[in-house]
Amino acid sequence: METTEIRRLIALEDTHWWYRERRAILRRELRGLGRPGRALDIGAAGGGNTRVLVEAGWEATATDSCATAVEVARQRGLKAVRADARALPFEPGSLDLVTAFDVLEHVREDHLVVEEIARVLAPGGHALIAVPCDMALWSAHDDAVGHVRRYARESLTVVVEQAGLKVDRVWSWNVLLRPLVARHRRRSRGSDLRKVPLLVNAGLSAVVRAERYLPVKSLKGVTLFLRARLGR
Residue-wise DSSP of 200-218 = HHHHHHHHHHHGGGSS-TT
Least confident of 77-91, 126-140, 182-196: 182-196
Domains in the chain with CATH codes: 3-230 (3.40.50.150)
pLDDT band at 49 (very low <50, low <70, confident <90, very high): very high
d(CA 214, CA 216): 6
Q: Mean of the per-residue pLDDT values for the chain?
A: 92
Q: What is the pLDDT of residue 37?
A: 97
The burial of 207, by beta-carbon neighbours within 10 Å (0-12 exposed, 13-18 middle, 19 or more buried), is given as middle
pLDDT band at 6 (very low <50, low <70, confident <90, very high): confident
pLDDT in tens, 166-183: 999 999 999 999 999 888
